[in-house]
Amino acid sequence: MKTIKQGLFIFFMLTVIVGGAYPVFVYGISQTFFTEKARGGIIIYKDQKVGAHLIAQEFTNDKYFWGRPSAAGHNATASGASNYALTNKDHQAAVKERKDKGLDYDLLTTSGSGLDPHISPNAAYLQVERVAKSRGVPPEVIAKLVKENIEGRQLGFLGEERVNVLRLNLSLETIVHE
Protein backbone atom coordinates (compact mmCIF):
# COMPACT_ATOMS: atom_id res chain seq x y z
CA MET A 1 0.00 0.00 0.00
CA LYS A 2 2.90 2.35 0.82
CA THR A 3 4.34 1.84 -2.67
CA ILE A 4 0.99 2.63 -4.30
CA LYS A 5 0.71 5.87 -2.27
CA GLN A 6 4.24 6.87 -3.26
CA GLY A 7 3.54 6.08 -6.91
CA LEU A 8 0.31 8.12 -6.88
CA PHE A 9 2.07 11.00 -5.13
CA ILE A 10 4.87 11.04 -7.73
CA PHE A 11 2.31 10.78 -10.55
CA PHE A 12 0.30 13.69 -9.12
CA MET A 13 3.39 15.87 -8.59
CA LEU A 14 4.76 15.20 -12.07
CA THR A 15 1.34 15.95 -13.58
CA VAL A 16 1.20 19.30 -11.77
CA ILE A 17 4.79 20.21 -12.67
CA VAL A 18 4.97 18.95 -16.26
CA GLY A 19 1.32 19.49 -17.17
CA GLY A 20 0.75 22.77 -15.38
CA ALA A 21 3.64 24.70 -13.88
CA TYR A 22 6.11 24.18 -16.74
CA PRO A 23 3.72 25.21 -19.57
CA VAL A 24 2.65 28.31 -17.60
CA PHE A 25 6.31 29.19 -17.00
CA VAL A 26 7.23 28.77 -20.70
CA TYR A 27 4.14 30.74 -21.76
CA GLY A 28 5.08 33.57 -19.39
CA ILE A 29 8.67 33.69 -20.67
CA SER A 30 7.53 33.70 -24.31
CA GLN A 31 4.95 36.46 -23.74
CA THR A 32 7.46 38.56 -21.83
CA PHE A 33 10.59 38.23 -23.96
CA PHE A 34 9.34 37.05 -27.38
CA THR A 35 5.92 38.69 -27.59
CA GLU A 36 5.76 39.12 -31.37
CA LYS A 37 6.87 35.58 -32.14
CA ALA A 38 4.68 34.08 -29.43
CA ARG A 39 1.67 35.72 -31.04
CA GLY A 40 2.55 34.43 -34.49
CA GLY A 41 4.15 37.58 -35.90
CA ILE A 42 0.82 39.20 -36.82
CA ILE A 43 1.22 42.32 -38.95
CA ILE A 44 -1.29 45.16 -38.73
CA TYR A 45 -1.42 47.40 -41.80
CA LYS A 46 -3.81 50.35 -42.06
CA ASP A 47 -5.66 49.13 -38.95
CA GLN A 48 -6.24 45.68 -40.40
CA LYS A 49 -4.63 42.33 -39.69
CA VAL A 50 -2.96 41.35 -42.96
CA GLY A 51 -1.26 38.15 -41.92
CA ALA A 52 1.60 36.70 -39.99
CA HIS A 53 5.09 37.36 -41.28
CA LEU A 54 6.26 34.10 -39.69
CA ILE A 55 3.92 32.01 -41.84
CA ALA A 56 3.87 31.99 -45.64
CA GLN A 57 1.08 33.89 -47.36
CA GLU A 58 -0.01 33.03 -50.87
CA PHE A 59 0.42 35.73 -53.52
CA THR A 60 -0.47 35.01 -57.14
CA ASN A 61 -1.09 38.49 -58.57
CA ASP A 62 1.70 39.86 -60.79
CA LYS A 63 1.69 43.06 -58.69
CA TYR A 64 3.23 41.14 -55.80
CA PHE A 65 6.26 39.00 -55.12
CA TRP A 66 5.52 35.31 -54.94
CA GLY A 67 6.78 33.01 -52.22
CA ARG A 68 7.80 29.41 -52.48
CA PRO A 69 5.07 26.94 -53.41
CA SER A 70 3.48 25.04 -50.55
CA ALA A 71 2.48 21.39 -50.54
CA ALA A 72 0.25 22.32 -47.58
CA GLY A 73 -1.58 24.89 -49.69
CA HIS A 74 -0.54 27.92 -47.58
CA ASN A 75 -2.90 26.75 -44.87
CA ALA A 76 -1.61 28.05 -41.55
CA THR A 77 -3.17 25.11 -39.70
CA ALA A 78 -1.33 22.48 -41.72
CA SER A 79 2.25 22.01 -42.70
CA GLY A 80 4.37 19.51 -44.48
CA ALA A 81 6.18 18.74 -47.65
CA SER A 82 4.86 16.60 -50.48
CA ASN A 83 7.56 13.98 -49.78
CA TYR A 84 7.75 13.28 -53.51
CA ALA A 85 10.98 11.84 -54.79
CA LEU A 86 12.75 13.77 -57.53
CA THR A 87 11.77 11.01 -59.94
CA ASN A 88 8.05 11.17 -59.07
CA LYS A 89 5.96 12.12 -62.12
CA ASP A 90 3.66 14.44 -60.10
CA HIS A 91 6.67 16.27 -58.68
CA GLN A 92 8.27 16.60 -62.11
CA ALA A 93 5.00 17.90 -63.61
CA ALA A 94 4.62 20.51 -60.84
CA VAL A 95 8.21 21.70 -61.28
CA LYS A 96 7.76 21.88 -65.07
CA GLU A 97 4.58 23.92 -64.65
CA ARG A 98 6.36 26.37 -62.34
CA LYS A 99 9.32 26.58 -64.73
CA ASP A 100 6.94 27.30 -67.63
CA LYS A 101 5.55 30.23 -65.61
CA GLY A 102 9.06 31.67 -65.61
CA LEU A 103 9.92 30.84 -62.02
CA ASP A 104 13.55 30.32 -61.13
CA TYR A 105 15.35 27.60 -59.22
CA ASP A 106 14.47 29.01 -55.77
CA LEU A 107 10.74 28.93 -56.50
CA LEU A 108 10.45 25.60 -58.29
CA THR A 109 10.21 23.29 -55.29
CA THR A 110 8.05 23.50 -52.19
CA SER A 111 9.49 24.44 -48.84
CA GLY A 112 10.08 21.70 -46.30
CA SER A 113 7.40 22.88 -43.89
CA GLY A 114 5.08 24.35 -46.48
CA LEU A 115 4.93 27.48 -44.34
CA ASP A 116 8.28 29.12 -45.06
CA PRO A 117 7.64 32.90 -45.33
CA HIS A 118 11.01 33.70 -46.92
CA ILE A 119 12.59 33.56 -50.34
CA SER A 120 16.20 34.09 -51.29
CA PRO A 121 17.29 37.59 -52.38
CA ASN A 122 18.01 36.03 -55.80
CA ALA A 123 14.40 34.81 -56.07
CA ALA A 124 13.17 38.30 -55.19
CA TYR A 125 15.46 40.06 -57.67
CA LEU A 126 14.34 37.70 -60.44
CA GLN A 127 10.74 38.88 -59.89
CA VAL A 128 11.55 42.61 -60.01
CA GLU A 129 10.80 43.04 -63.74
CA ARG A 130 7.39 41.39 -63.48
CA VAL A 131 6.35 43.38 -60.39
CA ALA A 132 7.65 46.67 -61.83
CA LYS A 133 5.87 46.14 -65.14
CA SER A 134 2.54 45.29 -63.51
CA ARG A 135 2.77 48.32 -61.20
CA GLY A 136 4.00 50.68 -63.92
CA VAL A 137 7.11 51.77 -62.03
CA PRO A 138 10.80 51.62 -62.93
CA PRO A 139 12.49 48.33 -61.98
CA GLU A 140 15.10 50.29 -59.99
CA VAL A 141 12.39 51.36 -57.52
CA ILE A 142 11.31 47.77 -56.94
CA ALA A 143 14.92 46.53 -56.74
CA LYS A 144 15.60 49.15 -54.05
CA LEU A 145 12.69 47.79 -51.99
CA VAL A 146 14.07 44.28 -52.32
CA LYS A 147 17.47 45.46 -51.10
CA GLU A 148 15.88 47.25 -48.13
CA ASN A 149 13.97 44.08 -47.17
CA ILE A 150 16.90 41.64 -47.17
CA GLU A 151 17.31 40.11 -43.73
CA GLY A 152 20.82 39.05 -42.75
CA ARG A 153 21.99 35.79 -41.27
CA GLN A 154 20.80 35.04 -37.77
CA LEU A 155 23.44 36.00 -35.20
CA GLY A 156 25.58 37.02 -38.17
CA PHE A 157 26.56 33.49 -39.18
CA LEU A 158 23.55 31.15 -39.09
CA GLY A 159 21.53 30.44 -42.22
CA GLU A 160 21.44 32.53 -45.35
CA GLU A 161 20.23 35.99 -46.27
CA ARG A 162 16.50 35.98 -46.96
CA VAL A 163 13.55 38.19 -47.83
CA ASN A 164 10.20 37.99 -46.02
CA VAL A 165 7.61 37.99 -48.80
CA LEU A 166 4.76 39.52 -46.77
CA ARG A 167 6.91 42.39 -45.51
CA LEU A 168 8.28 43.01 -49.02
CA ASN A 169 4.79 43.06 -50.49
CA LEU A 170 3.59 45.47 -47.81
CA SER A 171 6.52 47.76 -48.65
CA LEU A 172 5.27 47.83 -52.25
CA GLU A 173 2.24 49.72 -50.97
CA THR A 174 4.51 52.64 -50.00
CA ILE A 175 5.39 53.33 -53.65
CA VAL A 176 4.01 56.66 -54.80
CA HIS A 177 2.95 56.54 -58.44
CA GLU A 178 4.07 59.56 -60.39
pLDDT tens digits, one per residue of 70-87: 776 655 555 556 677 778
Q: What is the pLDDT of residue 50?
A: 61
Q: What is the pLDDT of residue 77?
A: 53
Q: What is the pLDDT of residue 49?
A: 59
For 163, other C-beta atoms within 10 Å of its C-beta total: 24
- Output the CA torsion sign for 134, 135, 141, 146: negative
Q: What is the pLDDT of residue 96?
A: 85
Phi and psi at 6, nearest 5°, equal: -65, -45
As separate numbers, helices (DSSP H) first and strands (DSSP E) second, the chain gives: 8, 5
- Residue 111 has, within 13 A of its CA and on its CB side, a CA count of 20
Closest of 126, 119, 74, 117 to residue 99, by C-alpha: 126
Q: What is the pLDDT of residue 142?
A: 96
In 75-175, which residue ranges form alpha helices assigned H by DSSP? 89-100, 121-125, 128-135, 139-148, 165-172
Q: Are 177 and 132 in contact (CB under 8 A)?
A: no
Q: What is the pLDDT of residue 72?
A: 63
Tens-digit pLDDT string for the chain (178 aa): 999 999 999 999 999 999 999 999 999 998 888 877 776 666 666 655 566 677 777 888 999 998 888 776 655 555 556 677 778 888 788 888 878 876 766 777 776 666 778 899 999 999 999 999 999 999 999 999 999 999 999 888 999 999 999 899 989 988 865 4
